[in-house]
Structure 1
Amino acid sequence: MIRIHAVTRRFGEVTALDGVSLEIGEGEFFALLGPSGCGKTTLLRVLAGFEAPDRGTVTLDGRDLLGVPAHRRPVNLMFQSYALFPHMSVEKNIAYGLAREGLPRAEIGERVAAVLATVGLTRQARRRPHQLSGGQRQRVALARAIVKRPRVLLLDEPLSALDKQVRAEMQLELKRLQHQVGITFLVVTHDQEEAMSLADRIAVLDRGRVQQVDTPVELYRRPRSRFVAGFVGANNVFSGRLLLSGGLEVPGVGVLPAPAGDTAGLVGVRPESIRLAAGEADASLHGTVLDISYFGGSSRIAVTVPGLDRPVLLTVAGPATVTSGARVALSWAPESAVLIETTGDTP
């Protein structure tokens, strides 16, 4: 439905977007993920009509979107701050955009009542924003955005103002709401867990360029660049040369489990794929436990290994059975190691 082609936007000497190309399908929940300053919010503003690119095209259903003024685009933007009118009730906040369009009062009432039921705020219709919780204010902002029935809803860090528990609840609510109303959602976030839990597909951006576009599962399992491997979830990245007989030869360390090959490169191994080896014959690495972090259902163990400049991370179920300072042996299956492309930053 949306085609973004070679979009570039510069601010003086800073290139916020550098030839970005993306395609977003109708009814898709799509996420733009990346660190601060990577260009994701600038791209959102280009789609909303608040920024004009220096080069490139954006089309919606094959029609030029850049030539349409912001207020006439079938696109709505939900701001990070929610931007609710404090002197208006919930229902009047939601009805504001429809009233500005001059719709009949009866139709406004029907649409507002329907969207209040959708977001579960019918009982709070007469309340003011200051009488609501953070999660409820976020629902009001969502209701105000979807009541105008846009083709595309843009969400800029929609959950960043919420605490962890409410954020988790609202992630489920956003998914439910998106499926129910059938609108294409495009969310901007720097939170990888948020993107992974919400999106059908994710575009990872860095320094104004698209690094990879994939489903959450493929993005996690098969990162195509060192940046993606390090940004999306924790990862252990080893540099060396793949051997035809199998394994990665790492200078000063030895041969680590990896698929067979004949090239120098990077290999990534996720912490959950690494295990504490039972004996020396099963060991790939030896090191000393540096730190243990307990998260309830699992523990993250950091192990310093001679010859490696960073600790090796592994995840074990429940409390760790080792202590800081202990000598440990580590191992993993060769098929758990993923070759990371090093020929360029873009897929």
Structure 2
Amino acid sequence: MTLLSVQGVTRRFGDVTALDDVTLDIAPGEFFALLGPSGCGKTTLLRILAGFERPDSGGVTLDGSDLLALPAHRSPVNLMFQSYALFPHMTVEKNIAYGLAREGLPKPEIRTRVTEVLETIGLSGAARRRPHQLSGGQRQRVALARAIVKRPRLLLLDEPLSALDKKVRAEMQLELKRLQHEVGITFVVVTHDQEEAMSLADRIAVFNAGRIEQIDPPVPLYERPRTRFVADFVGANNLLDGTVREQGFEVSGVGLLPCETGVGTGGKALLAIRPENITLAEDGPLTGTVIDISFYGGRSQLAVAVPGLPRPVAVTASGALTATPGSTVRLTWPPDRAVLIPEESAA
């Protein structure tokens, strides 16, 4: 079942194509992320969904009805701004009630809805405070409450956690997931933070230069990237160019490396190997020199220079390692943990 359907949406600004034939479907109750670097088109799509932009071509439907035919103030879609945009002179409860009052709802219903949503976000005791008396995380919750109190069919969030420090951001990621499940509203979040997208979303659309490169749940997206851009943008990766052979993957000047070849024998391709899938071994297809080790308590990160490769190989291992900078190590990985990306997708 589909709640929101975006079909062939294109948006240009002069010579710049912000969105290029974008198509995607979002299910009811889904937490969907639009992920990509700055300027990739994700915010333009969000503004089209919110009614602030018009596409040059394509359509958008919500529950089968033309969403683009509605003015922004009548749309069953709410947008939570990156800046939160709280009114500094109003209390928390008046900030939350503002949109309902503008719609002319009866005061008893407004009070009931505001009380309910304050309990949901855990700020019942802060109803009479003003925004400057709240922490960053609390202000974020008030902005979210103001959006969900109107009970929209779809809630759009533009970089909702970017203004928070790392610890508060991690807490609010859990809070957003809890609230989304509790209120049952479909969420679409725009972010350039891959960890944020992976931790929040049921599915992620990765944008690049106005196009969608891949749509998948977080685990398949991470473990099986389908293009060079996704393999490079989502998480750390070792990317090697070479040729697919029946026995493995051949890298010029290095040799034959283990992978599941499947199809495309004889063709150019990209081999992507996550650092955590590479291990130090007595025997392995790659031999190199450790040039750097970083210890992060529960894990260590190594950079290994391998003759014939243009960049050091990144390795992530559990705990501390006995290897030292300058030592020679051999590297290996399970063939099924190396992902082959055909040349046409790797371009």
Q: Give your verdict on TM over 0.5.
A: yes
Match of 1:305 in 2: 306
Q: Secondary structure at the match of 2:58?
A: strand
Report the residue type matching 1:274 in the other structure: I
Query: 1:36 and 1:294 mapped to 2: Cα distance?
Result: 31
1:213 to 201, 208, 215: 215
1:238 to 237, 240, 265: 240
Query: 1:147 and 1:215 mapped to 2: Cα distance?
Result: 28
Listed one character per residue, the Cα deviations across residues 105-128 of structure 1 (whole Å, up to 9, x for unaligned) are 000000000000000000000000
Q: Which runs of 5+ in 2 are unaligned?
A: none
> Between the two proteins, what is the percent identity of the paired residues?
70
Match of 2:254 in 1: 253
Query: 1:167 and 1:69 mapped to 2: Cα distance?
Result: 33
Query: 2:188 and 2:333 mapped to 1: Cα distance?
Result: 37
1:25-64 matched pairs, under 5 angstroms:
25-64=27-66
Could you tell me how far 1:260 is from its partner in structure 2? 3.1
On the 8 A contact 1:242/1:258 being kept in 2, the answer is no
Report the residue type matching 2:252 in the other structure: P
- TM-score (ref. length: structure 2): 0.97
Query: 2:342 and 2:205 mapped to 1: Cα distance?
Result: 17
Q: Which runs of 5+ in 1 are unaligned?
A: none
1:47-126 matched pairs, under 5 angstroms:
47-126=49-128
Query: 2:50 and 2:124 mapped to 1: Cα distance?
Result: 29
Listed one character per residue, the Cα deviations across residues 11-42 of structure 1 (whole Å, up to 9, x for unaligned) are 11111101110100000000000000000000
Q: Secondary structure at the match of 1:343?
A: helix
Match of 1:343 in 2: 344
Matched, 1:270 2:274: yes
Listed one character per residue, the Cα deviations across residues 211-262 of structure 1 (whole Å, up to 9, x for unaligned) are 0000000001110000000111111111112221x21111100111111351
Match of 1:24 in 2: 26
Q: Secondary structure at the match of 1:313?
A: strand
Could you tell me how far 1:294 is from its partner in structure 2? 2.2
> Does 206-215 or 282-291 show the bigger shift?
282-291
- TM-score (ref. length: structure 1): 0.97
On the 8 A contact 1:226/1:341 being kept in 2, the answer is no
Query: 2:131 and 2:197 mapped to 1: Cα distance?
Result: 27
Matched, 1:295 2:257: no
Could you tell me how far 1:344 is from its partner in structure 2? 4.1
Query: 2:296 and 2:106 mapped to 1: Cα distance?
Result: 54
Could you tell me how far 1:297 is from its partner in structure 2? 1.6
Query: 1:37 and 1:320 mapped to 2: Cα distance?
Result: 40
Matched, 1:177 2:163: no
Paired residues, what number?
Answer: 342
Could you tell me how far 1:98 is from its partner in structure 2? 0.3
Q: Secondary structure at the match of 2:68?
A: coil
Q: Secondary structure at the match of 1:315?
A: strand
Could you tell me how far 1:319 is from its partner in structure 2? 2.1
1:158-169 matched pairs, under 5 angstroms:
158-169=160-171
Listed one character per residue, the Cα deviations across residues 195-224 of structure 1 (whole Å, up to 9, x for unaligned) are 000000000000000000000000011100
Query: 2:112 and 2:161 mapped to 1: Cα distance?
Result: 28
> Does 314-323 or 128-137 show the bigger shift?
314-323
CA RMSD of aligned residues (A): 1.1
Query: 1:155 and 1:202 mapped to 2: Cα distance?
Result: 14
Match of 1:140 in 2: 142
On the 8 A contact 1:298/1:319 being kept in 2, the answer is yes
